[in-house]
A = this chain, B = another copy of it.
Amino acid sequence: MQDVARRAGVTKQTVSNVVTGRVAVRPETEARVRAAIDELGYTPNLVARSLATGSTRTVGLFVPTVTTAFYAHVVEEAEDALGRQGYHLLLCTTRRDGGRARQHLAGLTSRSVDGLLIAGDQDLPGRLPLPAGARFPVVLCAWETELPGRFPVVTIDYELGGHLAGRHLRELGHERVAVLAGPAHGRRVAGLRRAFADDGLTVPDSAVHLVPASAGLAGGIAAARAALAADPDTTALFATHDVLAAGALQAARDAGRSVPRDLSVVGYDDDPAGPLSRPALTGVALPTREMARQAIELLLGAVSAPGEPVGTPRPLPPELIVRDSSGPVPRA
C-alpha cells in the first residue's frame, strides 16, 4: 500500500480512501491511484483490514456431514449466497461429535468469524456455550427437534411434509401403513399420523420402525423387511428419508411384492436419485437451497445490524412429488 501511495504521489491514507470508497477523492487523484494499483498488482491485505475494522468477511458453517445430498446442497447454496456479498466460508463438519464441534467453535472464535450458521439438529446450542470471546451472531437452520430458542432459526415445516405424504396415501385408499423412521424424525411421523387421524384412523406405534442414523441403505432394507414381516397386510410404506425409501424398494422386490401394484412406497427428502429409481420414487421434496439462502441472508443481516433483533421466519413448506412408487390400495 505504501508502494502504491508513493507511486501515485499520495499518502497511503488516500489509497485507503479510494480502495474503500468511504471518502470521496478527486477524480484525477483516484485515477492515478488506480493506475498505480494495477501496475503494482496490489491486493489489499484483508487480515490487516480485519484487525483494524473487526470484520473478517468470513462466516463459519457447521454441518453434521457433507456426504448426503441434503447437506451438500446446503453447503453449496450457503457458499453462493455468501459469495454474492463478498464473504468466504469456513466449513466445519461436526460428524455429530460434541468434542469436535467445541474445537471448531474455538477455532472460529479466535479467527473472528463474522457469523456462524449451524445446519441440522446438532444438540450444540444447548450443550455448547459459546466461548467468552464469541461476539458474532448465530443462526440455526434445518432444525427439526425442539428449538433451542436462543437463536433465530430458518427451517422447514417437517410436520407438513409428513402430512402431505399421509394425505396422499389416504387419498389412494390406504389404511395400513408402516413407517421407516430415522432418529429425530418425530415431526415427519407426527404429520403422517395427523393425516390418518383426519380420517379417524390411527397409525399404531407397532407400525413405526426406527432405524439408526448410520444404518444407510442396508438399514432401510432391514427395516422394510421387518415391517412387512410384522404386518403382511401393510399396503404402504412411508420412509422418513429417501435412503430408507430406496431400501424399501429393494426389500419389496426381494419379497416379491410389486411396487406400486402390491405396495406403495413414499419417501422424504427429494434425493436427486429418487426420480431415477425404478419405479421412480414418490416423495416429499424439501426447499433445501431456499432455506440455506434465507438462513445466510438472515445471518448477514444480523452481522450488519448488530443490535437489532432478528425475526425467525415461518418454516418453509415442502411439496409432495407424485411419481410411480405410489398407487391405489390393492383390492383385497
Contacts and interface: CB of A to CB of B under 8 A. Distances in A.
Contacts of A72: 65-67, 72
Nearest to A250: B278
B43 A132 contact: yes
Contact of A43 (B66, B133, B221): B133
Query: Which bracket fits the contact residues of A?
Result: 35 or more
Given A47-B111, A103-B83, A67 B56 contact: no
A65 B76 contact: yes
A90 B92 contact: no
Interface in A30-59: 40-48, 50-51, 56, 58
A66 B76 contact: yes
A245 B131 CA distance: 48
A110 interface: yes
Interface in A65-80: 65-67, 69, 72-73, 75-76, 79
Interface string A116-136: 000000000000000111000
A207 interface: no
Interface in A57-109: 58, 65-67, 69, 72-73, 75-76, 79, 83, 86, 88-93, 100, 103-104, 106-109
Given A40-B132, A43-B109, A88-B108, 5 more contacts: A47-B56, A66-B66, A88-B111, A89-B92, A91-B91
List 5 A-B pairs, minimum CB-CB distance, nearest first.
Answer: A41-B132, A43-B133, A91-B91, A217-B276, A67-B72
6 contacts: A43-B131, A43-B132, A45-B110, A83-B103, A88-B111, A216-B272
